[in-house]
Amino acid sequence: LYKIRSDMDDSEATLTAMFGHCTQELMNLLLSGHAASQMHDGIMPMEDTGLMLRGIEKQPWIGYLTYLEVLRYLKVGSLY
């Protein structure tokens, strides 16, 4: 459980969201083995704020999903 919390940007966040939907962290955990909060590669600094956004460590063989794709807010990749 400690490892999962350390993968997340917000260690107080939950893996399920409103109405029992899974969060991006849970989806990333199931697909890649890491509960990363973001979809980008690696760790990215947020300019000069000192905040570090944790992304995916390496590309998984199964592919990616984000719940925001269903809402058409963003598109992850183009090979589907």
Regarding pTM above 0.95, the answer is no
The residue assigned the tokens 């969201």 is 17
- Of 61, 43, 63, the closest CA to residue 52 belongs to 43
Q: How far apart are the first and last CA of the chain?
A: 32
Phi/psi for 19 (5° steps) reads 65, 20
What is the average pLDDT value for the chain, to the nearest integer?
A: 82
Looking at the predicted structure, is the pLDDT value of residue 79 above 70?
no
Give per-residue pLDDT as tens, 1-30. 889 998 898 888 999 988 888 898 998 898
